[in-house]
Amino acid sequence: MKDLPVQNITYTDFKLNGFYSLGEWRPFLFIPFFLMFVLSTSANSILIYLIISQKSLHSPMYVLIGFMCLSNLIMPISFVPSMLLSFLFNWSGISLTGCVIQMFCIYFTGSFNTTLLFWMSVDRYFAICKPLYYHKYMEISSFIKFVIPPVTRNALLVIIMVSLAGKLSYCTNIIDHSFCEHMPLVQLACGDISLNNFVGLLNAFVIPVTDFILITVSYIVIFTSVFKSGKAHLKAINTCITHLFVLTVSFICALIAFLIYRIRNNISSSSRIFVSILYLLGPSCLNPLIYGWRTKEIRQTFLKFINNVKVLPFLEK
């Protein structure tokens, strides 16, 4: 009797095994990440509500901040709840389809954030350097035309990356991570992943690096204009400093998370996963607090909102 040919097994269900080395201490990770998740969702939700409900915050700059808060709200929701359930109850299973969807949400919202920072720099450029043309170029119809190309670029690159990952054959189903990232997943594939590595690098450089260069050029022009005009735009420059701070934090976190999966010497698995979580969840917690505190109009609107909430029960009595 002839031997039957051995067929390769292709896994379509995976187990997220992040922080497995911590053993019985693993459930305690629920506490800090749950608190960060609550802070992220509540702070971003409050800021979105304020921007939608207050007509004084309906200018283009605050609308952009609102979109950033929406992006910062969607990203943690896409992976933190399942991660927390895994810490508490060891519910770590995920299908390939679910993994690809989660990956798309993470990478698309992440790329959208860097593009938003570029739009904010353009908004400040017209407000400071070309104030007479501000309403012409930042009105909704013109703004939408400007928004479509970078969003399309981001969507296409991310879709190509996650689609290629979804078509691979996987020889093992244990993902050494707490959520679906590109490199930890494709490294489980049976065959050649050189194309996936190339597309992953393309996403990492084309989107954030291009946006970073454009943002840098925008702010160089802005600061040059401010220094030439003296103190005329010192108030407006305060907003630019806020944007630059958020930009710096975002790119440092992204750079560390990108390099840590390619420089593995003396770096534990738990350390890599921890940095990846902070890279995604940290800015979602910090950005609404930074904009809420550093932006005077938002800070004043929030204080009025808090005072109205305190006074309302007494008025009802």
Q: What domains appear along the chain, each with residue ranges and CATH number? A: 28-303 (1.20.1070.10)
134-152 pLDDT tens trace: 877 777 677 777 778 888 9
For the beta carbon of residue 190, count every other beta carbon within 10 angstroms. Answer: 14
Of 68, 54, 71, 63, give the one whose Cα is nearest residue 140: 63
Query: What is the structure's pLDDT at 162?
Result: 94
Most confident of 35-44, 127-136, 253-262: 35-44
Q: If you average pLDDT over residues 125-133, what whole number do you get? A: 82
Higher pLDDT, 314 or 121: 121
- Predicted TM-score (pTM) of this structure: 0.85
CB 76 within 8 A of CB 40: yes
What amino acid occupies position 34?
A: F
Of 221, 216, 225, 204, give the one whose Cα is nearest residue 243: 216
pLDDT category of residue 262 using cuts at 50, 70 and 90? low
Looking up tokens 């393309």 gives 202
